[in-house]
Amino acid sequence: ATPRGTPSGSKSSASTDPLRLGQRRYVVLRSAAMESVVSLLDDGSLGEVDGDEGRSLFVFVPQGSGTYLVRTAEPNADGNRDCWQVRSAGSDPLTVVAAACSPDEPRQLFSIVVHSSEGGQRTYALSNNSAYLQYSDQRGLILEELGDAPLETVFRFVDNGPAPK
């Protein structure tokens, strides 16, 4: 049986994947986007860019129980590395913003699930609690619970070398 909130087609958790999470830094690309990469923008929001705006190298730091802090590999203007954090804005969709890393903050704990391994190209679903990072034509990258809807947004991770200490 597939656990509720898990995308159908999920094969295994990232813990069985050779990504060496926590040891490597990655560029995250939405599989359906040709050249755009996921970036933590200077305004603190998570978005997609075609250039080098913001910070687009991420380290997935294991926190146990199959969750990860998603930390920037590059420091911000203050010299600190930020983490992804879910932000709620009333009736607007959940979004991801930059925040000081805090392993005890549940809104910063993301799960990574291998979605597909077709053609040797692995794709991943990213979620916080039961809300999945999805792409909306109107709002860009948002988090939403899938309910009975199919998972439509998956990501590829491109290794960019050892993670900074």
∠ CA 10-92-105 to the nearest 5 degrees?
60
Task: Give strand ranges (E) for 8-130.
Answer: 12-13, 24-30, 37-40, 46-49, 58-64, 67-72, 82-89, 92-100, 110-116, 123-128
Query: pTM for this structure?
Result: 0.85
Residue 153's pLDDT is 94
Residue 116 in contact with residue 154, Cβ under 8 Å? yes
What is the residue-level pLDDT of the chain in tens, covering all 165 positions?
Answer: 433 444 444 444 444 545 788 899 999 999 988 789 999 999 999 999 998 899 999 999 999 888 999 999 999 888 999 999 999 988 889 999 999 999 999 999 999 988 887 677 889 999 999 999 999 999 999 999 988 778 999 999 999 999 987
Report which DSSP code applies to 55: B
Q: Measuring CA to CA, which residue among 140, 135, 136 is closest to residue 125?
A: 135
Residue 55 in contact with residue 73, Cβ under 8 Å? yes
Residue 107 in contact with residue 98, Cβ under 8 Å? no
Q: Measuring CA to CA, which residue among 89, 1, 85 is closest to residue 40?
A: 85
Residue 18's pLDDT is 58
Residue 33's pLDDT is 87
Residue 159's pLDDT is 93
Contacts of 79 (CB under 8 A, 6+ apart): none
Beta strand 12-13 pairing with 110-116: antiparallel
Fold classification of 13-162 (topology level)? Trefoil (Acidic Fibroblast Growth Factor, subunit A) (2.80.10)
The two structure tokens encoding residue 103: 């392993």
Residue 2's pLDDT is 37
Residue 104's pLDDT is 96
